[in-house]
Amino acid sequence: MVEQVAGALDITYGALADPTRRAILEVLRAGEARVTDVAGRFPMSLNAVSKHIRTLERAGLVRREVRGRDHYLAAEPDALGGARDWIDHYRSFWEDRADALAAHLRDTRDQGSDP
Amino acid sequence: MTIEPVRVERLLPVRPETVFDAWTNPESLRQWMSPGSAVVGSVECDPRVGGSFRIVMLDGHGALEHAGRYLELERPRRLVFTWRSPVTGSVDTRVTVEFAGIDAGTLMVITHEGLDEQPTRDAHRGGWASIADKLAEAVTTTG
């Protein structure tokens, strides 16, 4: 359970750590938009943008709705934030890193590195 | 609006020197500095005042660079460095790590400041904060 939850935090951190993905969320701040309209704003292939969108979906930050032939994207309300974004990013980031450091120290101590 | 810096504490059952060294040794950093879903691609660090570090993490899309400069190194008590990442963009934030020797080992305190200097955004509270809070809580209670 701990590993699953820690993994989910990492997925969200990874999703938001990319400028293109943050820009996609900014576009969706104004409201839902068609995938093709979102993609048209970026100087990269539709395929490349789609990959970014899938990462945001996996992280639960955007949701997709199919209406007829169009795919619409909307940011999840929790994904749009104010000044607390970086703070919450890094609280989670350092909590995870501290856990990883503790595990690393335990492993190296068990190997006899710390007298 | 005043925003408190991020502060994370851990009690570690080893000496302060050991913990301090884990923060400044490239091979150690490679082991513990990457978020679980990413892999550390490369670590460079020059642990002296004015020296820099660069940690590149690889996820499914490419490289995420984390870099900064060491401001203070007082082994084993204190380490201070600037921190830039894809999240902070061109803004330098500041991380202070203190290592206090106690009977049980070391109390490590990480303080991350400058995170309120992000570009202006809409003011409404929320964000994925609530997701992260719930998940962080679950991690703590099951850990």
Residue A79 three-state SS: helix
Task: Among A14, A60, A113, select the one facing B38 at the smallest CB separation.
Answer: A14
- Chain A residues touching residue B37 (CB < 8 angstroms): 7, 10-11, 14
List all residues 6 or more positions away from A93 whose beta carbon is below 8 Å from its beta carbon: A13, B35
Min Cα distance B48 → chain A (Å) is 21
Residue B90 three-state SS: coil
CB contact under 8 A, A83 and B1: yes
Residue-level pLDDT at B63: 79
ipTM of the complex: 0.76
Question: Chain A within 8 Å of B119 (Cβ-Cβ)?
Answer: no
Candidates B46, B88, B142, B85; CA nearest to A1 is: B142
pLDDT in tens, A9-65: 566 677 777 888 888 988 887 788 999 999 998 999 999 999 999 999 988 889 999
Q: Report the predicted TM-score, pTM, of the whole model to 2 decimal places.
A: 0.64
List all residues 6 or more positions away from A47 whose beta carbon is below 8 Å from its beta carbon: none
Residue-level pLDDT at A103: 92
Task: Among A2, A82, A87, select the one facing B123 at the smallest CB separation.
Answer: A82
